Structure 1
């Protein structure tokens, strides 16, 4: 008996799961690209952050903080920690080469919690100037 290979989760299934977890969120699926926007609040004391996830089939999801913009920088810092682009607020939430995410995983169960964790560590960094979120530079 052969092994069952994991299959890529269709974009609309990804979108529907995101919508079920975040009923007030918005999404579109066009030309093999899922764009999702929703609010995350890493703690009860945190502000709400408007997040955009852009996921194109056969590529990695890209995560952006849309609001607030710009994000506050820690004192003495000129750029955000663990981002691909400070101006675009394009977050680095996992190390792609480690293959921590692939198209057989739900964005709602991986990318979104990782984004919330990034925001949590961002808030500490913005106050202390020390990044406690780990990661590879």
Structure 2
């Protein structure tokens, strides 16, 4: 894991990655406070609280992606907060490739994570280039500005 050199929250993130890669559900859940809060700003309805939901989520993930591997690609720690860039990969039980990338901003205290702002998303490679993405974001085809003739 690159960049996690401070103690505290960095140690917790290191334990979390090890538990993910070992598919050790109990060790993974032990990385989270009982009253843990997950915010998912891009999908607000997906936010949740409590380590019981962490257990439920990861039980399904380990079952659905039996060869899941996780890596913190880059990170920086500031006090009790770790800004972490993730890649998770594997093969789903239906044979489809699983690949997620993104950022999780993790706050910890006393050896557990207490809060995460979660920005991981499935990687998709069929949505087109930047022009297509802007058109979708704007809700209609956007005409490029015309150059003035002088």
Length-normalised TM-score, structure 1 = 0.30
Length-normalised TM-score, structure 2 = 0.28
| Larger fraction in strand | 2
